[in-house]
Amino acid sequence: MNSFTHYIKGILVGILISSIWTLAVAQAVFRGQVLNGTQDSSAVSGLTVELQGFGPKDSVPRNMASQSTNRNGSFRFTLSDADSALTYYNSVNFQGVRYFGQPSQIKEPQQMIESTIVVYDSTHAIDAVKNLMHHVFLQDMGEVLLVRESRVLANESSKAIISSSADRNSTSSTLSYRLPARAQRFEAGSRQLASQLIVSEGRILDQGILLPGNRQISYTYQIPWQGDRIHFNLPIEYPTRSLEIFSASPNMTLSSDAIRNMGPFSIRDVAYERYHVESPQRGTELTLLITRQGFAKESPIPYILTTSLLLIVGLLLVKTQKVKTTSDHSSTQLRQRRKQLIQELKKSDREQYPDFYQELQTIDLQLIQLESKK
């Protein structure tokens, strides 16, 4: 029995030692090829490839090794001390763009990892850019209209479209989008987009790279209401195949000859009123009149001015005639209530004005009576 126990213990210790040894001496081979997608996937020779590793606690990648591709565009790295805690990937710089291979982790003592990196010739020309889908979401937030735009941009060429400058402070950009008049509080839709989308002189400058294929961007901004309406202008600056507007506020109405109400529409359990823009043409501008119900208010200023005038007249009358008072409120309490009423009057609906106005007049009369006793 004791011999069997020792035998089992020996096996477990052996497995443990073997596992530790495997982690310590794990060998990995990274090999691959760099191809030019613009040039019919031809091999790219003489290009520097870097092997990098990134750990859970790393803030920047670790440079593990580098080499140049051969005439077949191939590369090969061998790591005798590969770390299973790291994520490895290959990368290259080509014509102003950094390209990456597939990330991988070491899971076996002897592992072969293959990676193909596809690069593209770069250009600044944007003729091949199309706006496949442009969605505009509108929501009434009280003082402002919240607008969220989402675009799916297509690069239908075989080249990477890049900005002429990598400087974030530069006004150079790959693409740009004009903001509507009076737009404020712009925010990019993600942390990654925040480093690519900047606002300058009423335009959103997109400094991101547009590879062949599709790229999605989104952003939000606010437009202050002018009473119960907003004139919303949306320029069509790129060929657009689909432009839809979604209103999340039932109290809002959108008016324009260029839109068609498609009725209720639900997205992720949120109910919208959907509007379709008929045949958006590049170089034109969509003009909407957005109105809302239930927020139009008559200014309370005339009521406040009238009350103040009554107070002045009352004080003058007190000089010649004493008014008897039965009020139990102190002057301080009355003044506090008067201030509160004025604030409520500014926020109230028109139907409530007479009640507030009547109480305000009563308080002013009581204040006059208290002053006459001094």
CATH topology match: 2-119 vs 129-292: yes
* Dist CA 334 CA 312 (whole Å): 17
pLDDT by residue (tens digit) across 222-277?
999 999 999 999 999 999 999 999 999 999 999 999 999 999 999 888 899 999 99
Helix, coil or strand: residue 131:
strand
Q: What is the pTM of this model?
A: 0.69
Check residue 6 and give its pLDDT: 52
CA angle 329, 331, 336 (to 5 degrees): 90
Check residue 150 and give its pLDDT: 96
Check residue 13 and give its pLDDT: 47
Is residue 314's pLDDT more than 90?
A: no
- Max mean pLDDT among 212-221, 263-272, 333-342 falls in 212-221
Per CATH, which fold does 129-292 belong to? Immunoglobulin-like (2.60.40)
- Which burial class, exposed, middle or buried, applies to 52 when counting CB atoms under 10 A from its CB (0-12, 13-18, 19+)? buried
The residues, any chain, with a CB within 8 Å of residue 287's CB and separated by 6 or more, are 231, 232, 233, 234, 256, 258
- Max mean pLDDT among 135-139, 300-304, 351-355, 365-369 falls in 135-139
The residues, any chain, with a CB within 8 Å of residue 253's CB and separated by 6 or more, are 290, 291, 292, 293
Check residue 310 and give its pLDDT: 56
Q: What is the mean pLDDT of residues 61-90?
A: 93
Check residue 152 and give its pLDDT: 96
How far apart, in Å, do the first and last CA atoms of the chain sit? 109
Is residue 362's pLDDT more than 70?
A: no
* Dist CA 174 CA 346 (whole Å): 48
* Dist CA 242 CA 151 (whole Å): 10
What are 174's two structure tokens? 């790959």
The domain at 2-119 falls in which architecture?
Sandwich (2.60)
CB atoms within 10 A of CB 55: 12
CA angle 256, 259, 264 (to 5 degrees): 115
Q: Are strands 48-54 and 62-68 parallel, antiparallel or unpaired?
A: antiparallel
Is the torsion defined by CA of 32, 36, 41, 44 positive or negative? negative
Half-sphere exposure of 126 (CA within 13 A, CB side): 18
Backbone angles phi, psi at 34, to 5 degrees: -105, 125
> What separation in angstroms does the CA of 235 have from each of 140, 149, 231, 286?
22, 13, 13, 6
**Structural domain spans, the chain:** 2-119, 129-292, 301-373
* Dist CA 28 CA 61 (whole Å): 18
CA angle 34, 36, 37 (to 5 degrees): 125
> Is the distance from CB of 274 to CB of 246 less than 8 angstroms?
yes
* Dist CA 276 CA 259 (whole Å): 5
Q: What is the mean pLDDT of residues 188-203?
A: 94
* Dist CA 227 CA 295 (whole Å): 8
Helix (H) or strand (E) holding 177: strand 175-178
